[in-house]
Chain A
Amino acid sequence: MWSSPVVALLLGVGSLIASTPDDIGPFGLVQALKPTLFFCLALLTASFVTVLFIRRSPSAVLLAAHVGVLVVLLHGAATIIEPVPRFTPAWLHVGFADYIARTGHTLPLDARMSWPGFFALAAMVTRAAGFQDSMPLLAWTPVVFNGLYGMAVYLIARNTTSNRRAVWLSVWLFYPANWVGQDYFAPQGLNYLFYLVIVAALLMWFRPSRLERMQRRLRRMPRPRLKLMADFVRRLVGLPISPMQGEQASLDVLPWQRVGLMTVIVTVFAASTVSHQLTAPTVAMSVAVLVVVHRCSVRTLPALLTVIVAAYVSYLAVAYWSGHLHQLLSSIGDVSGTVTAGATQRVQGDPAHELVSRTRLLLTAAIWGLAGVGAWRRLRRGTGDLALFTLVVAPFGVILLQSYGGEVLLRVYMFALPATVVLLAGVLIPAGPPASRWFGAAAAALLSVTLIGSFYVTRYGNEIFEQVRPADVEAITWLYQRAPRKSTFVAITSNVPWRFKAVEQYTYTPLSDDLGPQELEAIEHEMRANPRGAFLIMSKAQDVYAESFYGRPPGWGKRLERQVIRSGRFRIVYTNPEVKIFVLVKPPRGE
């Protein structure tokens, strides 16, 4: 059985190396993948479910090896295929870390710098390691983060289900279900790990003990008539008398160990507070709900976490909210607006992009639906877990706070995912007697293959514009060498791998997606605004982004480029097969 993960890894990585980024099409990376990769993934899946379901005592190390190979083939696919690290926001984060490394200060102009913990960490480590910047960390960050997530997801599953097979199936399903793509070189990638670690620690050591739970149940014994009614309803829907009888209790630790563990939790939370604006409130919310449902024994913890967040925002993130407090407060409670921004408005662009967006929504709905079935099955068996259900539901509270640029639903899905996959595993496990195990294995294989197959579309569906093209990097590097400081870089869209260095030394101006009828005038106006000079960057990557994401007509970018050239108002100073850089032609004297 060891041969399967080894063969899958070697053949799979070989297949990814043989793929070429030129084949990435409107549906993303999936169009560049070779059939061998899918064969490897099928082999890996078949081997995993066989070991998990059929073997009498499966080896944990063997199962971990299967999961490790899956992580590389799923989350390392783009890294192996593409010649330069993907995703332009990650390049910007390199620029932020570079700024801190050079100056030792935060950049006052950008809101993200009000939570600079991640960038400061990257700056410190890369400089101490001898790197010029954080660029060498970019490519493999998703694989490393996902590897670390796996440990915490294992612990969460381990403490919310008593079935070891379900634990491993949860970890396995977590990876193809984690299509959100927030594991790149960014604060949210690190903070997701913080979230998972805190949740795992609370579930392991800070649940009420069995004795506490029993005492509480005795204290709150319902009135006979109410009990009769509750029993009737339970029988009506087919639930046992105690649907959560098998719920797990806290592990026994000594009082001084509890103090130490709580100190660790608060320290990790403090690091989360200073490094990402959304994660800390989400953690506080999840903990508060756990306390409300009596699944966290430290009842004052939500208050402490809230005070930490409030103190940080009040004293050290003033630069962020002081300018646009109204804008921040206006989205509080606007649930319909947030949901619309998160679901409906993201389905836009050309037909391929729309299809990818719809596939994401469909997959999310399917996963939640199946998780619901898993929850019901566990309740029917008396192995329901209120803490688990809480962790699925609590992140939805974030919707009440803000839309987060239309991304909040993605984040809700992401924060609910560790608990969701445990419920998902509950659909298939326990499989019952040996005969049913084959059926369980087949069903698990089918679910895995569906998730893994759709992963390459849901995660990498936008790869046509999320990849970073070497031609762009070449052009921007040339620009940094030649452009005078304080000049302006103008681009038609924001899809440019710039700001990875000298982030404060230039003005970066991505124009809006709709320049209006007077496109040339708008560009020229922007460039003339800076007396120190300006450079217009036009590239294939921007054209593709505008066509795919904003639904601009095909050939729109080339047409604009021809207009720019023919106008006589711009002069080419740099060109490569995919990028052209222009400067303004100086106006004749007297103008």
Chain B
Amino acid sequence: MVPLPERSDVPLEEAETLRVVWRAEQEPIGLRGDHSQTGGTTTGGHGGSWWPPLLLNWAGLVVLVLVLTGVPTTVRAAPVIGYVMTVPGLACIRLLGSLGRLPQLALGVGLSLALAVLVAQAMIYLSLWSPVGGIATLVVIGSLASCAELLIAHVPRRAVAWAGGRLDG
């Protein structure tokens, strides 16, 4: 929460009105899961549900199968475009821990498109042009990121503690 602005130039009776208005301004109508509250904190670390990274992983697999098997355009167009626009970036952003759903999604889409642009252009400059290869590269990036998230977030704490103990010892 932002503190009430110090308005030392304001008379006392007006200050109370200001306080009421200020409180009214703070009424939360943000999007669910949007952690970008004023002066708030973004929690670091992982430990969320295991199924989002798994889903992102499977999505990559499905897209790769659709592209490689030459499924009709009507079936594969939407999954391929949707995947390229969201998943690789989202999988990478999720590695940064909880940033809030909307910031995560916005950054995820931006990063996905950026990665796709860079991969596509790199293929041109390296004379390795292959649309399927490009999609496969993006799937690898997305899958590696989501696997890393699974590993980081869901390695049993016992194992970490054990490894820590061994190292300390």
Contact residues of A with B, CB < 8 Å?
56-61, 63-64, 100-101, 103-106, 116-118, 120-121, 123-125, 127-131, 136-137, 148, 151-152, 154-155, 158-159, 162-165, 167-168, 190, 193-194, 197-198, 200-201, 204-205, 210, 235, 240-242, 245-246, 248-249, 251-254, 256-257, 260-261, 264, 267-268, 270-272, 274-275, 316, 381-383, 430, 432-433
Contacts and interface: CB of A to CB of B under 8 A. Distances in A.
B45 to A, nearest CB: 8
Contact of B113 (A130, A159, A190): A190
A249 B77 CA distance: 42
A382 B119 CA distance: 46
A231 to B, nearest CB: 9
Nearest to B92: A264
Contacts of B96: 257, 260-261, 264
B29 A57 contact: yes
A460 B20 CA distance: 44
Contacts of A194: 110, 113-114
B106 A241 contact: no
Interface residues of B, number: 71
A264 B111 contact: yes
A201 B107 contact: yes
A268 B111 contact: yes
A383 B41 CA distance: 21
B129 interface: yes
B49 interface: no
B169 interface: no
Nearest to B109: A148
A260 B117 contact: no
| B45, B109, B114, B118: most-surrounded residue (chain A CB, <10 A) | B114
Given A241-B8, A252-B41, A125 B116 contact: yes
B106 to A, nearest CB: 4
A151 B123 CA distance: 30
A381 B14 CA distance: 12
Contact of B118 (A151, A190, A274): A274
A246 B9 contact: no
A154 B102 contact: yes
Contacts of B9: 235, 240-241
B164 interface: no
Contacts of A168: 29
Contact of B5 (A118, A152, A382): A382
Contact of A164 (B28, B92, B109, B129): B28
Nearest to B116: A121
26 contacts: A57-B27, A60-B31, A61-B31, A117-B120, A120-B124, A125-B116, A125-B131, A130-B72, A130-B80, A136-B77, A158-B30, A158-B34, A162-B38, A245-B5, A248-B39, A251-B42, A252-B40, A264-B92, A264-B96, A267-B115, A268-B114, A270-B118, A271-B113, A271-B114, A316-B125, A430-B21
